[in-house]
Amino acid sequence: MLSRTTIDELQRVVGAANVASEPEDLLVLGYDSTPGIHHLPEVAVYPTSTEGVLAVLEIARRDGLPVTPRGSGTGLSGGSVPAKGGMVLCLNRMNKILEIDEENLTATVEAGVVTLDLFNATAKKGLFYPPDPGSQKISTLGGNVMEDAGGLRGLKYGVTRDYVMALQCVLPDGSLIQTGGKSVKDVAGYAFKDLLVGSEGTLGIITEITVKLIPPPRDKRTILAYFSDIRTAGEAVSKIIAAKIIPSTMEIMDKATINCVEDYVKIGLPRSMAALLLIEVDGHPAQVAEEAAAVEVILRQVRAAEIHIAKDAEQAAGLAAARRTALSALARMSPTTLLEDATVPRSMLAETFAEIERLTAKYKLNVGTFGHAGDGNLHPTVLCDERDLEEMHRAHAFYDELYAQVLAWGGTVSGEHGIGIAKKEYLARQIGAGGVAVMKRIKQAFDPNGILNPGKIFADERE
């Protein structure tokens, strides 16, 4: 139990309005979007400056208080859940865009800035910040960096990591480090920045982020293809990639997902189709025309049931927005949605869909699958009821077997959601005992007392 003195001290350093310890506040800061995971923190702190973060961490270090950073709590592996109690460090009140540097094509923001707000602010200046996780309207840049979030445009434009140029970070020992900068090239010493990206809040607390911006594509075209067999859709994706075309987006939804999304958005998605692909090509107008034509040829070759071209930007945006609701829309079907993040080499997509179908039947489950097909990154989602323990058992067996196959194909257990609490065991299977041991040594070097986001990525010694 946290002492009154500690709470008083926290209130003194960040202001009384920025510390919450009522049970109702704590209760709702014990979750993110990961199903079935909830741990109560003892106090929540909302710093409004880097100095505030430094002062708060000083108190936490002295008292040995676990600290879990949190943005908007939209994570999908439990990264911002306070697994060992202690303090939740909410960064959503540090939400200023500090600079958009049009000479160096960079933007510098506080960690709590919402992803879409940055996108819109840079778009106003004729610039483009590509990473667009499904939750971009809600998620924070700090959270994106910590989980190395992907998104719909990952196929052509990469993920958050590819845009991070510099980080300001508070380490658990009380030091403030700057790593990286606005220089395009930088090989001075170890790449701390790259170590921090995707570290899930276990190494340091990021307070400021400088990202790379690029000029926006001048033209784009959105193609919608329907399939009567999901494996054909997988084949289409592999063939488009093999034809050396890199669309900006190549998203898939299966029948269950199409129907749930259509229930919500009502834009006339094909309810009877086994799958649809949402493909967007962008770039120079001439290149767009050429690539769109080539994509259409392949879609015809594999015998897509129907091919449609979005008639304008508004319709295209509507389709992308619809796709972003997929996971939440699937939640209409059942009380619990267990989602995974399996990623395979793209040549194995059709086989992966076949495997998901086989396992769905084997374990008698209701599964909706959607994802970033072009990245080989799928989100098979088991629609279940957490009150039905037997069903939950089958769901976990489904994922166990699926991951074994994914790893055998050279895939990964997490394409973009991170390990967090949910996938610790799977990580160990993927990287082996040696890999885990190195990761633990790195953790030890940054955070010898283990106060930063304990209980994540790998089991700690005391478990």
Partner 1 sequence: MPSSEKLGNFTEQDAPTYESVLQCMRCGFCLPTCPTFALTGRERSSPRGRVALARAVAEEKLEFTVAVKQEAFFCLDCRACTTACPSGVKAGEVMEVCRSQAQQQSPPGHMASSFRSFILQRMLPDPDRLEMSMLPARLYQKLGIQWLVRHAKVLKLGPSWMEKAEGMLPALDAPLRPQEPEITPARGEKRGRVGFFLGCVMTLMYPNVSRQTVRVLAAQGFEVVTPPSTKCCGAPHLSEGDRQTARELALFNLNLFMQTEVDFIVTDCAGCGAALKEYEELLESAAEHDRLVVFREKIRDISEFLAEVGLRTEAMQLINKTVTYHEPCHLCHAQGISRQPRELLKQIPGLELREMNEASWCCGSAATWGLKFSRESQQVLDRKLNNVSQTGAELLVTANPGCQLQLAWGVREAGMTQEVVHVMELLGAATLDG
Which residues of this chain interact with partner 1, rule CB under 8 A? Answer: 20, 22-25, 27-29, 31-33, 35, 46, 72-74, 90, 92-93, 114, 135, 137-138, 260-261, 263-264, 325, 327-329, 331-332, 335-337
Least distance CB 72 / partner 1 (angstroms): 6
List the alpha helices (DSSP H) in 171-276: 192-196, 230-242, 255-265
Least distance CB 325 / partner 1 (angstroms): 4
Q: What's the CA gap between 90 and 29, in Å, rounded?
A: 9
Least distance CB 329 / partner 1 (angstroms): 4
Q: 371: which 2 tokens?
A: 């994802």
DSSP 330-355: HTTSSSEEEE---B--GGGHHHHHHH
Nearer to partner 1, 338 or 350 (CB): 338
Is 157 within 8 Å of 186 (Cβ atoms)? no
- Per the DSSP assignment, residues forming a β-bridge with 169 are 177, 206
Nearer to partner 1, 60 or 90 (CB): 90
Is 310 within 8 Å of 319 (Cβ atoms)? yes
Nearer to partner 1, 74 or 412 (CB): 74
Least distance CB 109 / partner 1 (angstroms): 16
Nearer to partner 1, 386 or 460 (CB): 386
C-alpha torsion 209→250→34→361, nearest 10: -160
Q: 401: which 2 tokens?
A: 């077997």
Beta-carbon contacts of residue 195 (< 8 Å; ≥ 6 apart)? 203, 442
Q: Which of 95, 96, 159, 161 is nearest to 133 (CA)?
A: 159
Least distance CB 367 / partner 1 (angstroms): 16
Nearer to partner 1, 104 or 328 (CB): 328
Count the helix, strand and coil residues of the chain and give each as a percent rounded to the nearest 5: 40, 20, 40
Least distance CB 389 / partner 1 (angstroms): 15
Nearer to partner 1, 123 or 438 (CB): 123
Least distance CB 314 / partner 1 (angstroms): 14
Nearer to partner 1, 54 or 114 (CB): 114
Q: 83: which 2 tokens?
A: 């697994």
Angle between helices 349-362 and 389-408 (to 10 degrees): 150
Nearer to partner 1, 31 or 403 (CB): 31
Backbone region of residue 151 per phi and psi (left: phi > 0; alpha: psi in -120 to 50; beta: other values): left
Nearer to partner 1, 120 or 444 (CB): 120
Q: 67: which 2 tokens?
A: 């600290």
Give the residue carrying structure tokens 């488009």.
240
- The amino acid at 209: I
Least distance CB 27 / partner 1 (angstroms): 6
Least distance CB 29 / partner 1 (angstroms): 6
Least distance CB 93 / partner 1 (angstroms): 5
Least distance CB 37 / partner 1 (angstroms): 10
Nearer to partner 1, 41 or 455 (CB): 41
DSSP 209-232: EEEE-BPPPSEEEEEEEEESSHHH
Nearer to partner 1, 116 or 459 (CB): 116
- Per the DSSP assignment, residues forming a β-bridge with 179 are 167
Element (H, E) at 98: strand 97-101
Q: Which of 380, 254, 376, 425 is nearest to 323 (CA)?
A: 254
